[in-house]
Chains A and B, each alone.
Chain A
Amino acid sequence: MKKPLPKLLALFLSFLKIGAFTFGGGYAMIALLENEFVARKKWLEKEEFLDVLAVAESTPGPIAVNTATYIGYKVAGVLGSILATLAVCLPAFAIIFTISLFFDRFLSLTYVGYAFRGVQVAVVYLIASAGFRVIKGMKKSVLSVILASLVFVAFILLSIFALRFSTIFYILIGGAVGLSVYAFGVMRERRRERLSAAPSEGTDAEKREGVSLEGEEAPEEQKEEEK
């Protein structure tokens, strides 16, 4: 299953180009990726490309790295995924590392310092507008609105009162809540089925289902059974 070198080289160069010329992070990269791999090189079907995007957005890590690894693998296996990922990171790494060598001296120039005091405000603006964009695009449900509001209030209060609570916990708690709500919904569905159909059959199936789900759902399942 050895791929010919030219394809690997082409893959590497494509991602090097994309890494070197996309400003504004992963989402800006998507149009370029589609143009390069679906329209021009025809290495991926449109359908496959959409699958890649869906996975890249649903897994942790930079979107650019996720798509590079996935497309690299689809085009040329493990070696392809390594080369694509390396290529997409290399320009950013080289450029930023070079800047970081001179940045302190650059910043100590009086007027550059003034400029960056203004730029800090732009950073607030850019992050806020990204936040609004993501919230606007979010699927609105009772769960998502409650979770988002709680996290928003908690985060700001804790930071104003200088109480430390790792941001990672918010994300993990959010995931656990989402999973619990899903498991709870499944169980209620089964219970309804069990009540409408033969009552004796459902119990076993439900128990087996409960085991295969995450550990943290156990208390909820018990509550459900006690009722």
Chain B
Amino acid sequence: MIYLQLFLVFLEVGAVSFGGGYGMISLIRDEVLSHGWLTEAELMNFIAVSESTPGPIAINLATFIGSSQGGLLGAFLATLGVVLPAFLIILCIAALLKNFLKYKGVQGFLSGVRPVVASLILATAVTMGIRVIFGLSSVKESFAFEYKALVILAVLVAVGVGSKCLLKKKASPIVMILLSAGMGVLLYGVF
């Protein structure tokens, strides 16, 4: 039953995803790949679209994945699943536990969760990067070095670092996505 599965998976993700949208990506990736809903490349396309459209990334991703697996109802249930835990937890805190953050136990718990989430974000990027550049994500798959992907990554890093040092401003995600789309057309289509 795909609808129930979508709802439960996103309910679970919504309930344990600390640290907002990016923290959620590693959780969603894990679930989506292990259920065989999407390939890594498809997921990355979805993430790119979610980054370049307005709204919270988590909602965008849930809607997108839900829709790809179960149409409108799937999209609705996945989004509801990801929102519901946050909504209920915040409601409890706002109405009953006003001193939520003052409990030392909560701080203790978060002091362990925060570094883990930070590290998961980076580790997810590295795993995706290995896949994009070496064409494999585990030793079970065959190796195919994608030098074009490496070129694109190098240009993005150069632009990112350059804009931070010269313009004192973080390059916007949309600029990076458009830039890489252009390079993709150029490298894969023209050359």
> In whole Å, how far is A35's beta carbon from the nearest beta carbon of chain B?
16
Tell me the chain B residues, 16-57 only, with Cβ under 8 Å from chain A. 16-27, 29-30, 34, 41, 44-45, 47-57
List CB contacts (< 8 Å) of A85-120 with chain B. Answer: 85, 88-89, 91-93, 95-97, 99-101, 103, 107, 110-111, 114-120
Sort chain A's interface into a size bin: 35 or more
Chain A residues in 8 Å Cβ range of B75: 93, 96-97, 100
Chain B's closest residue to A126 (CB) is B173
Chain B interface SS verdict (over half): helix
Q: Roughly how many angstroms separate A213 CA and B132 CA in the complex, as a whole number?
A: 45
> Max chain B CB contacts within 10 Å: which of A20, A21, A26, A119?
A119
Chain A residue at minimal CB-CB distance from B181: A115
**Secondary structure of the A side of the interface?**
helix
By beta carbon, the residue of chain B nearest A96 is B63
Identity of the chain B residue whose Cβ is nearest the Cβ of A137 in the assembled complex: B118
Contact at B160–A143, with CB atoms within 8 Å? no
A151 touches B (CB below 8 Å): yes
Q: Give bound CA distance, A55 to B102, whole Å.
A: 10
User: Which of A37-45, A56-64, A199-207 faces chain B?
Assistant: A56-64
Output the least CB separation between B80 and chain A (Å).
9
Residue of B nearest to A99 (CB): B49
Q: A26-B21, A127-B128, A168-B27 are in contact. Are A119 and B177 (CB under 8 A)?
A: yes
A interface footprint on B128-170 (CB within 8 Å = 1, 0 otherwise)? 1110100001111000000001001100110010000000000
A122 and B56 contacting across the interface, CB-CB below 8 Å: no
B contact set with A: CB distance below 8 Å: 12, 14-27, 29-30, 34, 41, 44-45, 47-60, 63-64, 67-68, 72, 75-76, 79, 82-83, 85-87, 89-91, 93-95, 100-101, 104-130, 132, 137-140, 149, 152-153, 156-157, 160, 172-174, 176-177, 179-185, 187-189
Chain A residues in the interface with B (C-beta under 8 A): 19-27, 29, 54-66, 69-70, 73-74, 78, 81, 85, 88-89, 91-93, 95-97, 99-101, 103, 107, 110-111, 114-132, 134-135, 138-139, 141, 143-145, 147-149, 151-152, 155-156, 159-162, 164, 166-168, 170-179, 181-183, 186, 213-214
